[in-house]
Amino acid sequence: MNELEINLKEINPQEFFGNQNKNLEKIKNHFPKLKIVARGLTIKAYGENKLLNKFQNKVNDLIIQLDKNNFLDDQLIENILKVKGKCDNIIIDKKLIIRGVSGKSIVANSPNQIKLVELIKKNDMVFAIGPAGTGKTYTGVAMAVRALKEKTVKRIILTRPAVEAGENLGYLPGDLKEKLDPFMQPLYDALRDMIPPEKLSSFLDKGIIEIAPLAFMRGRTLDNAFVILDEAQNTSNSQMKMFLTRMGMNAKFLINGDPGQIDLPKKVNSGLKEALRILKKINGIEIVYLDESDVIRNKIVKKILTAYKKNNT
């Protein structure tokens, strides 16, 4: 009797096996002539080589599905097991960017968000301009995670200037990471929606995902990376130029900002405004403008933004 062993170390085995091993039971029922045993991070199967090869292909398809989309449901497992040949992961919903934690659909909700997704696909550098709540950061992080899953980049770098939003926070305790993490919290929040906790922790530990203040970008060349500069309106001219010239080979840059929420000292000009002025006609650089119609927070946020816009504040 021949033996096959498959290691599940790249995914969460509990999610693969399912609640009370219900996913595993479906797999066993589909291969009744194989003896299948699951322990820890491994699945062992015993039987004829021809059946073992089919079993390995199906399990690999299920692993790919779980790794990309963070979920397996009954119907999906049935479809993968029944289809002949390789089961490619096809996104049917054009609005869907990725599947987040527990299979949560991360989608481009509005026409401008869909436009942002398309521009990111086709261009190496994109500016996303719009008020808070329009999905600039969230959509961008989703596209970065998608690129990482599809292996079109090797790492994600998320950065923003460490500028206090109109408040003087004074002395912050802790080491450098603890001092800076509060400024990076929106980026962590987005990632936690899209990547399971264990995998996210591993990516951060290995440097596959890096979250750092803008000052840490100086002197670097960022190759094979999806790089997002958030809160770009709070960069100075020199900081913006420094960041834009970090782009290396096979890199995508997304620059997010809201010119209406500048927290810089009064005498410091926003690097975002200057960049939009001088780069708008360069081929390969695209700009998408989002507005109140793209807000995906509580519906009252749209009304607030409209009211402030009418009063020019």
Tell me the C-alpha distance between 267 and 237, whole Å: 12
Model confidence band, residue 37 (pLDDT cutoffs 50, 70, 90): very high
- Provide the CA 208 distance to its chain's centre, in angstroms: 12
| pLDDT for residue 176 | 55
Q: Per residue in 132-156, pLDDT tens?
A: 889 999 999 999 999 998 899 999 9
Tell me the C-alpha distance between 124 and 255, whole Å: 11
Domains and CATH numbers, the chain: 2-82 (3.30.1370.10), 96-310 (3.40.50.300)
Task: Check: CB of residue 210 under 8 Å from CB of residue 222.
Answer: no
| pLDDT for residue 168 | 44
C-alpha dist (Å) from residue 308 to 74, 164, 171, 260, 305: 48, 22, 32, 10, 5
Q: Per residue in 53-107, pLDDT tens?
A: 999 999 988 888 787 766 777 777 887 888 766 655 444 455 788 888 877 888 8
pLDDT of 230 strictly over 90: yes
Task: Check: CB of residue 178 under 8 Å from CB of residue 202.
Answer: no
Residue 159 parent element (H or E):
strand 155-160
| pLDDT for residue 154 | 97
pLDDT of 232 strictly over 90: yes
Tell me the C-alpha distance between 95 and 149, whole Å: 18
Give the residue, 289 or 64, on which the prediction is more confident.
Answer: 289
